[in-house]
Amino acid sequence: MKILNVLLLPLCFAFLSTSSFTYAANYPCSKSKGGVSHCTADGKFVCNDGSISRSKKKCS
């Protein structure tokens, strides 16, 4: 049972730590932009700092 815990715990930690980085890299208005504020009429993301995201995704 100890061997299972020794192998499973690091694997779970590695999965959880990398999934959050992947999410941040693919989300419009990440990092210093402060996240998404709202959508424009033509489907673009407006960031919390007031700038328009260059994301190819459509906002709904």
Task: Please report, in tens digits, the pLDDT of each residue of the chain (60 residues total).
Answer: 666 566 666 765 655 554 444 444 567 888 889 999 999 999 999 999 999 999 999 988
DSSP conformation class of 52: B
In the numeric block, the tokens 């700038």 are attached to 51
Is residue 43 in a domain?
yes
Distances (CA, A) of 47 to 8, 14, 24, 42, 51: 39, 30, 14, 15, 5
Could you list the residue range(s) of the whole structural domain that residue 39 is in? Answer: 28-59
Provide the whole-model pTM: 0.54
Tell me how long the chain is. Answer: 60
Q: Which two tokens stand for residue 11?
A: 């694997």
State the total domains in the chain: 1
22 Cβ contact partners less than 8 Å away, ≥ 6 residues apart: none
Is residue 6 in a domain?
no
Is residue 54 in a domain?
yes
Is residue 11 in a domain?
no
